């Protein structure tokens, strides 16, 4: 097996590529769409945000479980599922959808596919100041193959991969990872800018239920009905059942428009009261400008310490000086919201 030499990005370029984009971006989506019920949501989410995302290509990825007879069958079923979704969205698949690998990575026998060739060509055509975002919500076979066949694409892409678990999770038995471990090794070893979106311990928070989907999506349009029916058909017993919509997290990172706050500046985490005031006042300013809600939690070490208590008094006085500001407890805020938004 020939060793592949990958180009190395300088640290500044690498870090800038991993900063959430503050502009519209070009992306491709690599998806095992028929594997579960979350890829469908992610695909719709990406295509319904044209003001932020230009989806240039969709790649069908392989998978093998009880919903397919082989990795290749999984890829083909995903390809067909993509076409169904595009039809519901009114999008033509022409020049947009590409078949991917029919088996998982074999480094000694790299296989070119429609998806691999398109990714290589599209990446190499991307200028350095406008990298192509490769959003992968499946096993990494298509992406790793492209990197091994044409290492130069590292200089032109950013990979956002939903895979693995939180780093403190007791194991890494995650579907996208364990399906093709060699491909994951390529991604982690090659030096490509890689934004990891873990599953257990992170995207498990993005859970929903059948009643919630029926309340917000049911009857809205054929696409929404399709998504609801897909989730319903995934599990027989719906009583007290919820389901993570894992893959939307990868798209959400690109769509992220919330205000970012850096609370801790240094490794010690120790802050003076004046510095805490500056940070929290800035956080309040951001929430106030957006017309949002902000929650402050008092750590036990804060209570009873005069300098910090005095800082909190000054902060409250500062916030009271803004028109329309109201103070309440978290439980009361939830109760008020529930009263105004009955189910």
Q: Where are the domains of the chain?
A: 11-255, 273-340
97 neighbors 61 (Cβ within 8 angstroms): no
Percentage above 90 pLDDT, the chain: 69
pLDDT at 287: 86
Task: Please state the pTM of the whole predicted model.
Answer: 0.75
265: pLDDT confidence band, cut at 50, 70 and 90? very low
CB proximity list for 49: less than 8 A, separation 6 or greater: 251, 255
**Averaged pLDDT, 320-342:** 82
Reference 302, options 342, 337, 338, 273; nearest CA is 273
* Residue 276: both structure tokens together: 């805490």
- Cβ neighbours, 10 Å, residue 135: 26
328 neighbors 336 (Cβ within 8 angstroms): yes
Q: Using a CB cutoff of 8 Å and minimum separation of 24, what contacts does 89-95 make?
A: 89/44, 89/47, 89/48, 89/223, 91/47
**98 strand-pairing partners:** 59
pLDDT at 264: 46
Distance CA 56, CA 239 (A): 40
263 vs 176, residue with greater confidence: 176
* Residue 168: both structure tokens together: 């403190």
Determine if residue 84 is left, alpha or beta; phi over 0 gives left, psi from -120 to 50 gives alpha, anything else beta.
alpha
- Correct CATH for 11-255 of 3.40.50.880, 3.50.50.60, 3.40.47.10, 3.90.245.10: 3.90.245.10
Query: Tens of pLDDT along 193-225?
Result: 999 999 999 999 899 999 999 999 999 999 999
- Cβ neighbours, 10 Å, residue 191: 15
The b-or-e profile of 147-183 (16+ CB within 10 A means b, else e) is: bbbbbebbbbbbbbbbbbbeeeeeebebbbbebbeeb
In the chain, what is the straight-line distance between the N-terminal and C-terminal CA atoms, in Å? 61
Distance CA 194, CA 183 (A): 13
Determine if residue 269 is left, alpha or beta; phi over 0 gives left, psi from -120 to 50 gives alpha, anything else beta.
left
Q: Using a CB cutoff of 8 Å and minimum separation of 24, what contacts does 168-175 make?
A: 168/201, 169/198, 169/200, 169/201, 174/199, 174/200, 175/35, 175/63, 175/65
Distance CA 154, CA 132 (A): 10
Averaged pLDDT of the chain: 90
- Residue 114 exposure: Cα atoms within 13 Å on the Cβ side: 16
Reference 28, options 62, 53, 56, 48; nearest CA is 56
Query: Tens of pLDDT along 125-158?
Result: 999 899 999 999 999 999 999 999 999 999 999 9
70 neighbors 105 (Cβ within 8 angstroms): no
Determine if residue 34 is left, alpha or beta; phi over 0 gives left, psi from -120 to 50 gives alpha, anything else beta.
alpha
């Amino acid at each position: 097996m020939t060793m592949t030499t990958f180009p190395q990005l300088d640290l500044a370029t690498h870090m800038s590529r991993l900063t959430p984009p503050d502009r519209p971006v070009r992306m491709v989506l690599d998806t095992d769409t028929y594997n579960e019920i979350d890829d469908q949501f992610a695909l719709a989410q990406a295509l319904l945000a044209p003001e932020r995302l230009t989806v240039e290509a969709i790649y069908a990825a392989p998978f093998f479980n009880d919903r397919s007879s082989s990795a290749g069958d999984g890829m083909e079923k995903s390809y067909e599922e993509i076409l169904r979704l595009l039809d519901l969205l009114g999008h033509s698949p022409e020049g947009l959808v590409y078949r991917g690998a029919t088996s998982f990575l074999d480094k000694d026998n790299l296989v070119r596919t429609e998806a691999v060739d398109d990714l290589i060509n599209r990446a190499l055509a991307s200028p350095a100041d406008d990298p192509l975002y490769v959003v992968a919500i499946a096993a990494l076979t298509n992406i790793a193959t492209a990197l091994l066949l044409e290492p130069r694409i590292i200089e032109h892409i950013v990979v956002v991969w939903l895979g693995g678990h939180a780093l403190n999770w007791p194991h890494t038995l995650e579907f996208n990872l364990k399906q093709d471990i060699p491909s994951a090794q390529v991604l982690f070893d090659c030096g490509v800018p890689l934004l990891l979106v873990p599953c257990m311990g992170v995207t498990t928070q993005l859970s929903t239920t059948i009643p919630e989907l029926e309340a917000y999506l049911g009857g809205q349009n054929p696409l929404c009905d399709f998504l609801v029916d897909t989730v319903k058909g995934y599990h027989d017993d719906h009583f007290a059942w919820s389901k993570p919509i894992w893959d939307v997290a990868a798209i959400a990172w690109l769509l992220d428009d919330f205000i970012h706050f850096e609370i801790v500046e240094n490794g010690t985490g120790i802050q003076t009261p004046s510095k805490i005031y500056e940070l929290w006042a800035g956080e309040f300013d951001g929430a106030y400008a957006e017309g949002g809600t902000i929650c402050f939690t008092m750590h036990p070490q804060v209570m009873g310490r005069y300098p910090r208590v005095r800082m909190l008094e000054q902060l409250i006085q500062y916030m009271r000086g803004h028109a329309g500001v109201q103070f309440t407890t978290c439980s009361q805020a939830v109760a008020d919201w529930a009263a105004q938004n009955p189910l």
